[in-house]
Amino acid sequence: MSRAQLHVILRRTDDWMDGRRSRHTDDTDVLLRIHHVIGELPTYGYRRVWALLRRQAELDGMPAINAKRVYRIMRQNALLLERKPAVPPSKRAHTGRVAVKESNQRWCSDGFEFCCVITERDCVSRSRWTAVIVRHCTLGGDYRRLQQ
């Protein structure tokens, strides 16, 4: 602790109280407003409740409520939602190999199919546009058709 801070501590009056810990505000009004929001939709968590209270305070011209205060009030009154249960980890090892039940069986996987639009502009006459829609990504034959 520095000397300056020690000097401040020793010179304090007897009735001094730490403002960080001695705040005791009446939360009944906020609790009633929280119950009003939760009464409409009980699945709202503290963040959405806080957002709705903040919007309502802006419309009414009141000061906004701190999100930590909403969380504290909801926690003290057991209004918080239960956390989602964790998803159990998969028992199958991800080794990068495809597992089949028996030998000599085929396996397959899904893939994406891209459809392409190929256009070529005739730069000499500037009057004709040519387009070919490629459905199976066979670019060789369609490209040759474009050059004709």
76 pairs with which residues across the strands? none
pTM: 0.48
Helix boundaries (H) for 46-147: 46-60, 67-76, 139-147
90's tokens: 């998969």
pLDDT tens for residues 66-110?
999 999 999 999 999 988 888 888 887 777 776 677 777 776 666
CB atoms within 10 A of CB 127: 7
Domain boundaries, the chain: 26-84, 116-147
Question: Which segments of the chain are extended strands (E)?
Answer: 116-121, 129-134
pLDDT tens for residues 3-39?
888 888 888 888 887 777 766 678 899 999 999 999 9
Q: Which distant-in-sequence residues (6+ apart) come within 8 Å of 67 by Cβ?
A: 46, 47, 50
